[in-house]
């Protein structure tokens, strides 16, 4: 049901206005950012910035995991381009799970990790002027506004935005070319949806005539030829071209190498990726993404017996990189490493915790290591308790953790007391009194036999809920709690 609630919340935010008639496309004048409150940074006036600087306007919400994952990247961009008068503005619209109180708490908790301007769009006018007008239906979505105040690019902030930003700043960006590519991309998506793979490849080739250095288009060719058309020759040629183009970008090379290595094993694509990654790691020995890509490529190749030894070689190089150690721990929980990865994953995440003992994400990863890789319920419970302490001011993070403990089939009945601990902490945290939070708290009480508490809290959730479909489900759960209480 929590998944349904998340979808409903998305619809509430993303469907803010069904009657909006204006259209926003590449080359259109960018609407002014009319928000009721600026929660971080100075107000941004696009009219005043015309002729001066480039602005990135990103739409997000606290409950949106990909949005939260984009925060460090946007902060990095703001720092990198500040001297060139680039302003990054995060605009978030009000919805039942994304109130001003919740957003303020999130911004406060993030501190310097979120170091760009944040505006709270209470009535949704700015959301409509951008997202609805541009027919964008998912977040995060970013709009690059050029120095002339026109929309130059629309897309996911972590999917190709930075190279475009460089061109827009330099004044070399071709909006007409991008519009043509977007028109082709719409056809590509349509062919993919209908399974017309040959027609899809023809459209991709059309795009590559316009933009021959587009790595993502070459990777699309690889994936279709490798998985759908079973053409090893064409797939290999596309993979080689993509890796050649990414040679000077170690992070992009790591990203696409993992996709290539994951191709059909019998075709030997993993060995192709390994050969490129060996050279890249020589040039960038401390790049965590390259190291992890290399490990995964080895594990899926005919050299898989060497994977444990490779992991032992990589881990010491990451000791000063807590984010890399945490990422490594998550990788080592993969099925490919089931026979030996658990203890190495534990060592990796313990190293991350030593470097950042207050980071709740590390304790969450440690919980997963003990639960998934080591099948160690006591160890997972201890790590989960540390997570609750570290995340005590993040109601949404605690809510997601408690709900997972209560509903994941592999966890049900094993962590009910931990779920109650997380739900209690969630309820005390800023923004932890929304109807979806109360729903979790009620279920946690019910699982421990506290049906009277569950009834009382669920009634509070129903009173706060203003969504008919969600309220119907809340009432169904309330009936279950009341029946249990009546049997006592």
Summarize pLDDT for 379-389 with one digit per residue, the tens.
999 999 999 99
pLDDT-based confidence at residue 424 (cuts at 50, 70, 90): very high
Residue 193 within any structural domain of the chain: no
d(CA 20, CA 15) in angstroms, rounded, equals: 10
The enclosing domain of 373 has a CATH number of 1.25.40
Residues 23 and 168 in one domain: yes
d(CA 166, CA 185) in angstroms, rounded, equals: 22
Instruction: Tell whether the torsion through CA atoms of 462, 464, 468 and 473 is positive or negative.
Output: negative
Specify whether the CB–CB gap between 139 and 157 falls below 8 A.
Answer: no
Question: Residue 459 corresponds to which tokens in the numbers above?
Answer: 């009634």
Residue 344's domain comprises 319-390
Residues 361 and 283 in one domain: no
Residue 180 within any structural domain of the chain: no
Point out which residues pair with 155 in neighbouring strands: 142
Of residues 325, 296, 327, the one with CA closest to residue 310: 296
Point out which residues pair with 118 in neighbouring strands: 40, 90
Residues 70 and 149 in one domain: yes
**Residues 6 or more apart in contact with residue 353 via CB below 8 angstroms:** 322, 359, 362, 363, 366
Residue 187 within any structural domain of the chain: no
Summarize pLDDT for 373-418 with one digit per residue, the tens.
999 999 999 999 999 999 998 888 899 999 999 999 999 999 999 9
Query: Is the pLDDT score of 16 beyond 80?
Result: no
Specify whether the CB–CB gap between 93 and 124 falls below 8 A.
Answer: yes
- pLDDT for 393 equals 84
Domain boundary among 340, 370, 390: 390
- pLDDT for 21 equals 53
pTM of the model: 0.76
Query: Is the pLDDT score of 10 beyond 80?
Result: no
Residues 106 and 252 in one domain: no
Residue 473 within any structural domain of the chain: yes
- pLDDT for 11 equals 40
Query: Is the pLDDT score of 4 beyond 60?
Result: no
Residue 309 within any structural domain of the chain: no
Question: Residue 292 corresponds to which tokens in the numbers above?
Answer: 């992890």
- pLDDT for 160 equals 83
Residues 382 and 406 in one domain: no
Identify the H or E element spanning 119. Answer: strand 117-121
Specify whether the CB–CB gap between 263 and 269 falls below 8 A.
Answer: yes
- pLDDT for 13 equals 46
Number of domains in the chain: 4
Specify whether the CB–CB gap between 47 and 149 falls below 8 A.
Answer: yes
pLDDT-based confidence at residue 102 (cuts at 50, 70, 90): confident
Residues 415 and 364 in one domain: no
What's the mean pLDDT in 456-484? Answer: 94
Specify whether the CB–CB gap between 139 and 61 falls below 8 A.
Answer: yes
Mean pLDDT of the residues in the chain: 92
- pLDDT for 439 equals 97
pLDDT-based confidence at residue 351 (cuts at 50, 70, 90): very high
């Amino acid at each position: 049901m929590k998944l349904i609630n998340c979808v409903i919340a998305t619809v509430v935010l993303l469907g803010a206005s069904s009657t909006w008639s204006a259209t926003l496309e590449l080359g259109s004048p960018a609407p002014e950012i009319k928000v009721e409150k600026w929660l971080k940074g100075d107000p941004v006036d696009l009219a005043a910035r015309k002729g001066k600087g480039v602005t990135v306007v990103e739409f997000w919400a606290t409950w949106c995991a990909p949005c939260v994952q984009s925060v460090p990247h946007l902060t990095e961009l703001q720092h990198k381009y500040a001297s060139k008068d680039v302003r990054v503005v995060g605009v978030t619209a009000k919805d039942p799970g994304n109130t001003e109180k919740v957003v303020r708490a999130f911004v406060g908790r993030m501190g310097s990790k979120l170091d760009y301007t944040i505006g709270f769009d209470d009535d949704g006018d700015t959301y409509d002027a951008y997202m609805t007008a541009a027919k964008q239906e998912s977040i995060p979505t970013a709009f690059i506004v050029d120095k002339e105040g026109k929309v130059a690019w629309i897309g996911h902030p972590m999917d190709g935005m930075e190279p475009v930003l460089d061109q827009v700043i330099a004044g070399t960006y071709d909006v007409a070319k991008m519009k043509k590519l977007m028109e082709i991309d719409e056809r590509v998506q349509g062919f993919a949806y209908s399974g017309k793979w040959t027609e899809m490849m023809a459209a991709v080739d059309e795009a590559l005539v316009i933009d021959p250095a587009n790595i993502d288009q070459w990777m699309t060719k690889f994936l279709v030829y490798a998985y759908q058309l079973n053409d090893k020759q064409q797939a290999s040629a596309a993979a080689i071209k993509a890796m050649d183009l990414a040679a000077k970008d170690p992070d992009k090379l790591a990203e696409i190498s993992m996709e290539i290595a994951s191709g059909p094993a019998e075709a030997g694509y993993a060995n192709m990726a390994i050969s490129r990654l060996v050279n890249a790691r020589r040039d960038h020995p401390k790049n965590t993404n390259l190291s992890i890509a290399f490990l995964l490529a080895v594990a899926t190749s005919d050299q898989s017996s060497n994977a444990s030894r490779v992991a032992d070689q990589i881990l010491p190089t990451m000791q000063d990189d807590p984010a890399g150690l945490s990422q490594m721990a998550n990788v080592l929980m993969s099925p490919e490493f089931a026979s030996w990865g658990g203890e190495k994953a534990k060592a990796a995440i313990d190293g991350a915790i030593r470097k950042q003992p207050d980071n709740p994400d590390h304790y969450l990863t440690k919980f997963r290591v003990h639960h998934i890789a080591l099948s160690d319920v006591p160890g997972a419970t201890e790590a989960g308790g540390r997570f609750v302490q570290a995340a005590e001011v993040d109601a949404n993070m605690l809510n997601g953790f408690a709900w997972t403990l209560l509903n994941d089939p592999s966890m049900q009945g094993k962590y009910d007391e931990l779920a109650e601990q997380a739900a209690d902490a969630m309820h005390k945290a800023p923004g932890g009194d929304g109807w979806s939070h109360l729903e979790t708290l009620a279920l946690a009480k019910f699982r421990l036999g506290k049906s009277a508490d569950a009834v009382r809290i669920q009634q509070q959730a129903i009173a706060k809920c203003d969504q008919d479909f969600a309220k119907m489900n809340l009432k169904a759960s309330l009936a279950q709690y009341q029946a249990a209480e009546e049997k006592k």
